[in-house]
Amino acid sequence: MSAARPDVSIVIPMYQEVENAAETLRAIGTALSAEGWSYELVPVNDGSTDGTEAELSRIAAQDPRVQSTGYIHNRGRGYALRRGFAHASGSFVAALDADLSYTPEHAVRMVRMLMDDPEIDIVLASPYMPGGRVEGVSFIRLLFSRGGNWVLRRALAQPVYTSTGVVRAYRRETLDQLDLSSDGKEIHLEILSQAMALGMRIVEMPATLTSRKKGKSKFRPRRTVASHLVFSMLERPAAIFGAAGLVLFGLAAILAIFLLTVYAAGDLNPERPLMTLMVLLFLGGTAGLSFALLGMQMIGMRRQMVRMQSELQQMRGGIEELRAEARGSAPANVRTGPRDVEA
């Protein structure tokens, strides 16, 4: 007989976090116990080499509610989250940073919101929304983070203030509908993109982001900025290419008007460089608008594919449940895990 499903699972990706592991798990467990919820903690060792794996094994041996998992090579936050989601069995699944830059009370508040409102599918901890705060974070990191989220707010189908944070809470059935594949931090954007395509309700909660107290930051500004720009182009190609096309058309029109005045004065020379520039701008504008139209069609097709993949995920889960019932075993926790994640 399968074990009872806990109320809450907390997934914590960990890479080189030996200094934080024990304190983080203790603090999260204390906060959840105060709510009277049954819970499990799912720390994911993302190929650490500093003793994190041994520390998690020691803690798990002492507390059965700690269901640690991991792998040898570092594969990125996205892979760690997918691994954790696949192992989590709670009715509600939340993710937290290993350095507790968001306190465990954030997870408690997010899960409460899901419990209180069955219409909410995902809750985001948001330091950048009205009511949110940032304390002690370096100016450079905050500049990149705020700037990136400002751009992404305009790229996503539904604007959110903080789209890049790991700290979120989900219903189990919400995660089961997503077909995730990202290994890096872009997984946060992949989740939102797919959830929005499926019409899920996403709610932000004011949060307080603080600086890391122990261990080394894993923030990589160049990689983060690059992934945000690529995602923005893929998510809103019509807006980006359409705007560029219109700007080029506008410049071409200005040059055309100027050249007409020169022609009216009888001074137009067909070999003037401005003639060539006007033609190039016109062609560039045409190409931009053409890419915008193609982009709109691609986005529509991609969202349709997300919906089809979600339906297939649910069908596979239903088939597994029927098989489990036919075998006479309890299908309580049967689901299909994220793609490419080993059991």
Q: Which two tokens stand for residue 108?
A: 């408690």
Residue 75 vs residues 80, 180, 297: alpha-carbon distances, Å: 7, 15, 33
pLDDT value at position 252? 86
Q: Which two tokens stand for residue 335?
A: 């689901």
Give the C-alpha separation, 313 to 338, whole Å.
10
pLDDT value at position 99? 92
As to burial, measured by CB atoms within 10 angstroms (0-12 exposed, 13-18 middle, 19+ buried), residue 51 is middle
pLDDT value at position 148? 82
Give the C-alpha separation, 43 to 25, whole Å.
8
Give bridge partners of residue 93 from the DSSP assignment. Answer: 9, 170
pTM above 0.95, yes or no: no
pLDDT value at position 141? 82
Residues 6+ apart with CB under 8 A from 295: 236, 237, 238, 240, 241
**Contact, 90 vs 7, CB < 8 A?**
yes
**Contact, 25 vs 66, CB < 8 A?**
yes
pLDDT value at position 14? 96
Give bridge partners of residue 46 from the DSSP assignment. Answer: 71
Q: Which two tokens stand for residue 47?
A: 């190929």
pLDDT tens track, the chain, 343 positions: 346 889 999 999 999 999 999 999 999 999 999 999 999 999 999 999 999 999 999 999 999 999 999 999 999 999 999 999 999 999 999 999 999 999 999 999 999 999 999 999 999 999 999 999 999 888 888 888 888 888 788 778 788 999 989 999 999 999 998 988 889 888 998 899 889 888 899 999 999 999 877 666 655 566 666 666 666 555 666 666 667 778 887 888 888 888 888 777 777 666 667 778 888 888 888 887 777 677 666 666 766 676 676 667 667 767 777 777 777 654 444 444 445 555 4
pLDDT value at position 332? 47
